[in-house]
């Protein structure tokens, strides 16, 4: 079942707010990694090198969870459970450059490595919790 990112929490995808992405290892153990994230209006986007552990996990076991804490207010956060519904290498290099502009303030991602191409993963939110001020949960 699809869930929506509340409009008043979409700003978290416009500022350099790190997300913590939880994926599942082959033995079912959780693996958590801080990642840069983006939102296309329907899917949360995660960009990584496909042969990294989180990439292998998302390909083999698409159930994921992530949280994003507002860097300006640590009590405001978005928590999402969902599934990876698509992955593509198309546009992934340009996308990481756009993320580098937001997160690093540089025009291009400084660690491009043609030998390790990037993959863009699209996550469909299925359950969303948006926490605003203390005690305010949606």
Which two structure tokens, joined as six digits, stand for 75? 């009590």
Q: How confident is the model at residue 138 (pLDDT cuts 50, 70, 90)?
A: low
Q: What is the pTM of this model?
A: 0.92
Dist. CA 47–CA 40, nearest whole Å: 13
Query: Does the pLDDT at position 131 exceed 70?
Result: yes
What percent of the chain has a predicted confidence (pLDDT) above 70? 95
Distance CA 115, CA 6 (A): 38
């Amino acid at each position: 079942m699809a869930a929506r990112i509340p409009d008043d929490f979409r700003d978290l995808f416009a500022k350099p707010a790190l997300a913590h992405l939880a994926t599942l290892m082959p033995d079912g153990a959780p693996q958590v990694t801080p990642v840069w994230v983006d939102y296309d209006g329907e899917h949360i986007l995660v960009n990584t090198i496909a042969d990294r552990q989180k990439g292998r996990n998302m390909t083999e076991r698409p159930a994921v969870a992530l949280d994003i804490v507002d860097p300006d207010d640590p009590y405001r956060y978005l928590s999402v459970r969902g599934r990876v519904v698509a992955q593509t290498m198309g546009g992934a290099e340009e996308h990481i450059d756009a993320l580098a502009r937001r997160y690093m303030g540089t025009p291009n991602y400084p660690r491009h490595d043609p030998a390790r191409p990037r993959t863009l993963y699209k996550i469909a939110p299925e359950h969303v919790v948006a926490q605003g001020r203390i005690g305010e949960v949606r």
